[in-house]
Amino acid sequence: MVSSLSVAQTLAHVARRRPPLQSALDVFEPLLSSRADLPDKLAPCLRTAGMTLPVWDRYRAGQGQSLLAGHSLRGADNAIRKAAAKLLPLICALPPFRDCTDNLQALFSWPVRAEENRGTVAEQLMEALLASDEQSFIQLTELAAVPPHLAELPAEFIFSAVLRALTQSLAERPWEEGGTWRHGYCPFCGSFPILAWLDRPVQDEKNAYLAGGGGKKRLYCGMCGTSWHFRRGACPSCEAEGDGAMEILRESGAQWGERLEWCTKCKTYCPMVDLRESIAIPDLDATALGMLHLDMVAHQKGLAPLRASFWNHLALA
């Protein structure tokens, strides 16, 4: 029952608070806005292709396996092509990708290889990316002569639109059941989060005299758009917790509930935003972009983002 802000509205709020970020926000806004529009358009493609999701298995989840782990993504090709057609022109407008525009377009529309019965190149590429199968990923990108380090971010961005369309088809979020999923990576696709947020107060209709104060920590997956509960004092990457495990990095003055939490053990960080007092839920991808200034400080301190994104990877490289 809480309204949500669009990418443009969220970034407009950020720009009002931090005018120096305006030029960086302008670069990435078309990308984020276009991707936000895609899941609704891609969902029919996935339905037509007959793509189904595996059933949530508590035993597998208990062993730390996300829903898509080991699951074939055959049938996603048409949706991937549509997402690539929309997003690649925007991605290839960014300086690092200008020289490999044709190669990237070829990679995501590579014809089916007759000798293989494992799906299209794009489908295999998505499976390799989600499985962190670096060797397969490199082999596939070599087909279109795209340097692997230039293929990774475009691939993630394009596949994320398809994965978000897939999550829309889920009738329920089984990982929300208490204690089912306790890991720092996504229960749906297995990716690390790009953002953490503190939940708003929850009205307990069964208790007439107390409302929850909110503040439960949730992690947000920038790949598939899933969010899930996680322990507030633990590192999502190495799961270290306890005294001194996590430190906080925040700007002086008005902080707008935003900060970075970084792990003293594995030196990774994840931005976090406190939404307990917020009127509306901002777009979480745009919120992560709006914390670019904290990414910069973290970079100077030698910390690594839990998950690389266009802005914290390209802008700071």
Partner 1 sequence: MSKTFLIDTTRCTACRGCQLACKEWNDLPANETKQRGSHQNPPDLNPNNYKIVRFHEHLDADNNVVWNFFPDQCRHCLTPVCVDVADMVVPGAFIKDAATGAVLVTEKCAQIPEDALESIRNACPYDIPRYEPKSKRFTKCDMCVDRLRAGLVPMCVKTCPTGAMAFGERKEMLDLAQKRLAAARERFPKAHLADADSVSVIYLLAEEKEYYHQYASFM
Q: How far is the CB of 253 from partner 1 (least distance, A)?
A: 13
Q: Shortest approach of partner 1 to residue 1 CB, angstroms?
A: 5
Nearer to partner 1, 119 or 271 (CB): 271
- What is the binding site for partner 1 (CB under 8 A)? 1-3, 13, 201, 203-205, 208-211, 213, 256, 276-280, 282
Whole-number Å distance between alpha carbons of 67 and 188: 5
Distance, CA of 314 to CA of 257 (rounded, Å)? 26
Inter-axis angle of helices 121-130 and 134-143, nearest 10: 150
Nearer to partner 1, 10 or 66 (CB): 10
The torsion angle over the Cα atoms of residues 258, 263, 269 and 274, rounded to 10 degrees, is -20
- Residue 283 Cβ, how far from partner 1 at the closest point, in Å? 13
Closer residue to partner 1, CB minimum distance, 193 or 290: 290
Supply the minimum distance, in Å, between the C-beta of residue 5 and partner 1: 9
Closest to partner 1 by CB, 6 vs 278, is: 278
- How far separated are the first and last CA of the chain, in Å rounded? 40
Of 19 and 95, nearer to partner 1 (C-beta) is: 19
Greatest pairwise CA separation for the chain in angstroms:
67
CB of 73 to partner 1, least distance (A): 37
Q: Is the CB of residue 221 less than 8 Å from the CB of residue 188? A: yes
